[in-house]
């Protein structure tokens, strides 16, 4: 992963200021000390696409009479997950907001 501010590669082992709540994470870049975060909307889309696609895929295999509906929904969930994964980039935030929630 790269810092969108200084474009240096960030090693997870070098990150020393980190706040995590669930899938959300906020951390400071070890090179430029700018706070970075991922986007909650894309994380939600990734989770919904992944589990929705898996459930529809398994259901279309077991309930073959609904296969014409469930299989395209499963494929759509996979496409949503891949697009959300590609769109999910780190962005610069002014100050950590999870700091108050973690404590
Ligand atoms: Zn940086």
Q: Shortest CA distance to 4 belongs to which of 41, 32, 39?
A: 32
Q: How far is the CA of 91 from the centre of ligand 1 (A)?
A: 11
Q: Please state whether the predicted TM-score (pTM) of the whole model is above 0.85.
A: no
Q: How far is the CA of 6 from the centre of ligand 1 (A)?
A: 4
Residue 1 belongs to some domain of the structure: no
pLDDT at 102: 63
Q: How far is the CA of 4 from the centre of ligand 1 (A)?
A: 7
pLDDT tens, position by position, 55-80? 999 999 999 899 999 999 999 999 99
pLDDT tens, position by position, 9-57? 999 899 988 888 888 889 999 999 999 998 999 999 999 999 999 999 9
Residue 21 belongs to some domain of the structure: yes
Domain count, the chain: 1
Residue 21 dihedral angles phi and psi, to the nearest 5°: -140, 110
Distance CA 76, CA 24 (A): 24
Residue 2 belongs to some domain of the structure: no
Residue 66 belongs to some domain of the structure: yes
Residue 3 belongs to some domain of the structure: no
Structural domain containing residue 41: 12-98
Residue 103 has pLDDT above 80, yes or no: no
Residue 56 belongs to some domain of the structure: yes
Q: How far is the CA of 78 from the centre of ligand 1 (A)?
A: 32
């Amino acid at each position: 992963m790269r810092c969108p501010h200084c474009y240096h590669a960030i090693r997870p082992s070098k990150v020393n200021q980190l706040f995590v709540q669930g899938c959300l994470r906020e951390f400071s870049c070890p090179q430029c000390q700018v706070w970075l975060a991922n986007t909650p909307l894309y994380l939600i889309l990734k989770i919904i696409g992944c589990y929705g696609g898996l459930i529809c895929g398994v259901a279309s295999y077991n309930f073959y009479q609904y296969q014409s509906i469930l299989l395209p929904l499963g494929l759509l969930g996979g496409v949503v997950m891949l697009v959300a994964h590609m769109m999910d980039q780190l962005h610069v935030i002014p100050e950590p907001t999870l700091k108050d929630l973690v404590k």
